[in-house]
Amino acid sequence: MNILEITGIEQLFLGLYLIAHGLIHLIFLIYSYDKKSNVYTGWSGRSWLLDKVIPLKLTTYIGKITWVLIMILFVLSGLSVLDLLAINDYLTPLIIISSAIATLAFIIFYDGLSPTPYHWILGVVIDLVLIAFVIVFPNDISLLLPILILIWLYGMFFHTKIIPKTTAP
C-alpha cells in the first residue's frame, strides 16, 4: 500500500502527525527564556555557517523564512494525506522536500537551537524516516506508522529524561 492508498485511522494518524511535525517548527520562531528552569528554548537566530558570511540580521531573516516554509510544507502534506487538499499528485515530492529542508535547516542552524541541538534531533530522525519511506519503500507505507509511533513514544517518555540539563548563556 502506498501513501495515497491509506485510509481510516492510518490516514488520520499520518495526516495529523505531519501537521503536528510541521507546527512544532513554530518554536524556532520564538526564542524564549524560562526563569524557573533557567533555560532558553527555540532558535537564537544564529548559524555556525551563515554568521561567517552574512550579517546576523540576514541570518535571522533567512532562518525565520526557512522555519515558516518548513511548517507550511508539512501542514500542506498533512492536509493532503487527510484529503483536505487536492494536491495528491505532489504529496511524495512535498514530503521529500519538506523533510530535506528541515534536515538542512537543522544542520545550518545547529548551534542556535536551544536548550541544546540534541533536544531537536528526533525531528531529524522523523524527517529521514519520512524520506526513506517515500523513496525506498513507497509501496509499503504501512510500516511507517508503527515507526513514527515508536519515535513519538521515545520522545515523550525517554528522550527528554536523558538530555543533559543546560542553563542560560
Say if residues 94 and 73 touch (Cβ distance below 8 Å): yes
Q: What is the pLDDT of residue 6?
A: 81
What pLDDT digit, counting tens, does each position of 135-155 carry?
988 877 778 889 999 988 888
Q: Does 116 have pLDDT greater than 80?
A: no
10 Å Cβ neighbour count for 102?
A: 27
Q: Tell me the whole-structure pTM to 2 decimals.
A: 0.88
Q: What is the pLDDT of residue 25?
A: 95
What pLDDT digit, counting tens, does each position of 41-51 carry?
899 999 999 99
Half-sphere exposure of residue 58: CA atoms within 13 angstroms, side-chain side: 7
Q: What is the pLDDT of residue 152?
A: 86
Amino acid at position 74, single letter: F
Q: Does 169 have pLDDT greater than 80?
A: no
C-alpha cell recorded at residue 77? 502534506
What pLDDT digit, counting tens, does each position of 63-106 carry?
999 999 999 999 999 999 999 998 988 999 999 999 999 999 99
